[in-house]
A and B are shown apart, each in its own frame.
Chain A
Amino acid sequence: MENGPVTQAEGKDPSGFLSEIIGAPVTVKLNSGVVYKGELQSVDGYMNIALEKTEEYVKGVKRRNYGDAFVRGNNVMYIAAD
């Protein structure tokens, strides 16, 4: 079986999915339950995330807006494409 780095890049494995959703609106949920919605600027291997036009939701209620936000990867439960 061939499994070169290019063969399954189209949103299949985690890194392929990430490159697919860069620049798109996403929902990031933290382990604490806090949700951040924004434009995904970049992600790295630690799941550190840079968001633009970020909205913060606590218990489903909007709390704040951030122009630019960095989320440290260890807090991230999931990244969802909107």
Chain B
Amino acid sequence: MASQLLPLELIDKCVGSRIWVIMKGDKEFAGTLVGFDDYVNMVLEDVTEFDYSGSHTKLKKILLNGNNICMLIPGGEGPEGAVSASP
């Protein structure tokens, strides 16, 4: 029987690659995942912050508090790269 992949193991596989982070509320981040801890606080590099207003902010390296993280999308490049559902 194949052993199942735990959620945090999936995130561990993403270390070194691009990831898209969707926060509670309207904020989103896209960056290269450098590392994370048990609280899913994460270190991201070459980050773009997507604001509620639709503005972008570039950041070199950040420690993102895990408290307000809602969803993680491996390989994601932020809202622009995503294909929206057609009406």
Chain A hits for B23, CB < 8 A: 77
Residue B34 at the chain A interface, CB threshold 8 Å: yes
For residue A71, give the distance in angstroms from its CB to the closest CB of chain B.
12
Determine chain B's interface SS by DSSP, over half rule.
Answer: strand
Among B27, B34, B62, B68, the residue within 8 A (CB) of A79 is B62
Given contacts A79-B62, A80-B60, contact A17 B34 (CB under 8 A): yes
Contact between chains at A80 and B62 (CB < 8 Å): yes
CA distance A80 to B60 in the complex (A): 7
Contact between chains at A12 and B63 (CB < 8 Å): no
- Tally B residues with Cβ within 8 Å of A: 19
Among A13, A73, A77, the residue within 8 A (CB) of B37 is A13
Interface residues of A (CB under 8 A from B): 8, 11-18, 27, 31, 47, 73-74, 76-82
Q: Can you list 19 A-B pairs, Cβ within 8 angstroms, ordered by A?
A: A11-B61, A12-B34, A12-B35, A12-B43, A14-B43, A16-B35, A17-B35, A47-B41, A47-B65, A73-B65, A77-B23, A78-B59, A78-B64, A79-B62, A80-B60, A80-B62, A81-B60, A81-B61, A81-B62
